[in-house]
Amino acid sequence: MAFLIAAAFLTMSAQPQPISIIPEPAHVEARTGAFHLNSRTSIYAPDSLGDLAHYAQRCLAPATGFYFPIIDHRGPNTIEMRLDKHAEKLGPEGYFLEVDKDRVLIHAARPVGLFYGFQSLRQLLPPDIFRKARMQREWTAPCVYIEDSPRFGWRGAMVDSSRHFMPKEFILKFIDLMALHKLNVFHWHLVDDPGWRIEIKGYPRLTANASQTDFSEMNPTMAMRSINQKPGGFYTQDDIREVIRYAQDRFITIIPEIEMPGHSNAAISAYPELGNKQELEAAGIPVNFMGSYDNVYNVEDSTIQFLKNVLDEVMDLFPSKFIHIGGDEVWKEPWHENPKVQERMKALGLKNEEELQSWFIKQFDTYLTSKGRRLIGWDEILEGGLAPGAAVMSWRGIGGGIAAAKSGHDVVMAPNSDTYLDHYQSKLQSREPKAIGGYLPLSKVYAFEPIPAALSSEEAKHVLGGQAQLWSEFIPHPKHMEYMAYPRLCALSEAVWSPKSERNWQDFLTRLDVHLKRLSVLDVNFRPLNEDPKPVGQWKNGEVNDKFADKEWDITPALTNPGDYDVIFSYSWGEDRLDIQWIEIREDGQVVQRVEHLGRTGADNKDNAYRIHLDHIKPGAKYTLRASVRADGGDKSNGDIYIVPAR
Ligand code: ACM
């Protein structure tokens, strides 16, 4: 009997995995049988593809224990990589992957296609193939025929290394994971108010003085200090070169972002002559905006020159065509108050600070263009007119993207509603690590459509693609960043790679089940799949006001088993958060539980969960939730109530 079970187990384990590739390829035909990866396997590639063949060899070695030989002819059990002009029809990044019983053939017009074909092959093997330790000697991949190419050429992810410095090792791992998901643009937010993170040889104080802080330092009340992590840090130019090389080997372009003219407090703190504070103080104007912030560059020639010098060093490091200059949330107050800025504005014949911002951005558009590069910035750069070659990253929804595309500018869709991975993944916020706010569940990222319906097919050609954002104000640690990134970045990868017709939420979830095993093996701290339950009740505009009053909800269907539960109030939208004084659970009108404490919903959720214990559920009884609630300040409040098992 034991023998029979063992034999059955062996047969089962020899079965290939179901095909679960993320992002879903454009075309997949399952075939019968399996390819065996074992001691007889070799990699067949011409010398010209040596780097790729070695990459494949290194990827497969740890878990198999074999450094598969790289040979120049077809062997009995080869993984073949071949450049093939016929594959041009799949576009620059496309590939064919044919897995037969006795060989694997990846062919593509360019090395990048072969690279993606190999990523798909890795995902045909069991998740353990991603382990760093030797697992077994025999592996199987199901026979299959795949034709694949991406829907968009810009498949991006942005990491904010300024608000909380992210160590180089984390950045390398992040890039590796991007490659696994066939993402190809790493947008690196290197500079912002809390810290300057890139070594600039000409201005050593940028890193000496302005890199040793992080967001927590600037907001001590938020107590967000990184765990086991010194505040701050920066990347040397050698670090940057190493990261760029690493990304290039994985066909990922790094777009550096040097924020201007706003979000520049770090630079100004190191070189105060770049800001406005001195002029304001000299003119007797108190500097009291946003506490000690002075976060807008002035418009002196010397400041413009400083930024050009910084960009020169940045361009020496980063070969990307696009250079991101930020341009978002430029706070006009310091310009409005600074007499020297006002003087310059008039001399330039500009009517207001919006036009001044446009002038500022145009200086750098001209400069970058003269160096053979292209400027890209957040959608505020559209205000006041945009330089001809500039591209726009649409973050305040899709309006900026639509306007940019309609006026003939290229655009990357990065709407905060769909792609801001710093937002909460659940409405049960008290059960999540503190986030900046918002609500962006996995399903919504999956449904992200980069081409706005308002665009004609001609205008839509200006949409280069889409991108996810990981702002780090509330992400103090790399493991926490992984939690925010995954699995939502898996969903985004499919939104920007797979044909619209192949996207299917249920099918994605089935594949994700296998994919999460891969991420687990890769030691990625992803958020476990856990969609929010249905709410048991709601409150809406006009149903509550600023005086505490009792409200009641029928919760009978939600209570099927005795036990401990949390009753959680979750604010969704409006102007007035909901406050709670007490709650009661009533059984046929009789109070069976009462919990009293002040709870608050909204951006600063506090004590908004009420723990209840039900020692029985009476069949046929009606259960109600009663609570004393008010909306803070008015009657514009909307939200949901959840009852979830306690933990
Ligand atoms: C942004 O989120 N301020 C681009």
pLDDT digits (tens, 9 = 90+) for 461-499: 999 999 999 999 999 889 999 999 999 999 999 999 999
Question: Is residue 17 pLDDT above 80, yes or no?
Answer: no
| Annotated catalytic residue within 189, 263, 423, 477 | 263
Please say if 329 is a catalytic residue. yes
Pocket probe for ligand 1: among 263, 324, 328, 394, the residue whose CB has the most ligand atoms within 8 Å is 328
pLDDT value of residue 9: 44
Atom of ligand 1 nearest to the CA of 416: 2
Q: In what order do the strands lie in the sheet with 623-631?
A: 549-554, 623-631, 578-587, 590-600
Centre of ligand 1 from the C-alpha of residue 394, in Å = 9
CA distance 415 to 466: 9
438 lines ligand 1 (CB under 6 A): no
Please say if 259 is a catalytic residue. no
Contact between 159 and 166 (Cβ < 8 Å) = yes
Question: Is residue 229 pLDDT above 70, yes or no?
Answer: no
Q: Measuring CA to CA, how many Å separate 333 from each of 75, 312, 336, 347, 557?
A: 70, 29, 5, 19, 54
If you average pLDDT over residues 72-85, what whole number do you get? 94
Pocket probe for ligand 1: among 163, 255, 329, the residue whose CB has the most ligand atoms within 8 Å is 329
395 lines ligand 1 (CB under 6 A): yes
% of the chain exceeding 90 in pLDDT: 84
420 lines ligand 1 (CB under 6 A): no
Which amino acid, 586? Answer: R
Give the mean pLDDT of the chain. 92
378 lines ligand 1 (CB under 6 A): yes
pLDDT value of residue 256: 98
Centre of ligand 1 from the C-alpha of residue 379, in Å = 9
Question: Is residue 2 pLDDT above 50, yes or no?
Answer: no
> 448-459 burial by CB neighbour count: b if 16+ within 10 A, else e?
bebbbeebeeeb
pLDDT value of residue 476: 87
Helix (H, G, I), strand (E, B) or coil at 358: helix
Centre of ligand 1 from the C-alpha of residue 145, in Å = 42
- pTM to 2 decimal places: 0.93
Question: Is residue 133 pLDDT above 50, yes or no?
Answer: yes
Q: Measuring CA to CA, how many Å separate 37 from each of 32, 102, 125, 310, 604?
A: 16, 10, 9, 50, 53
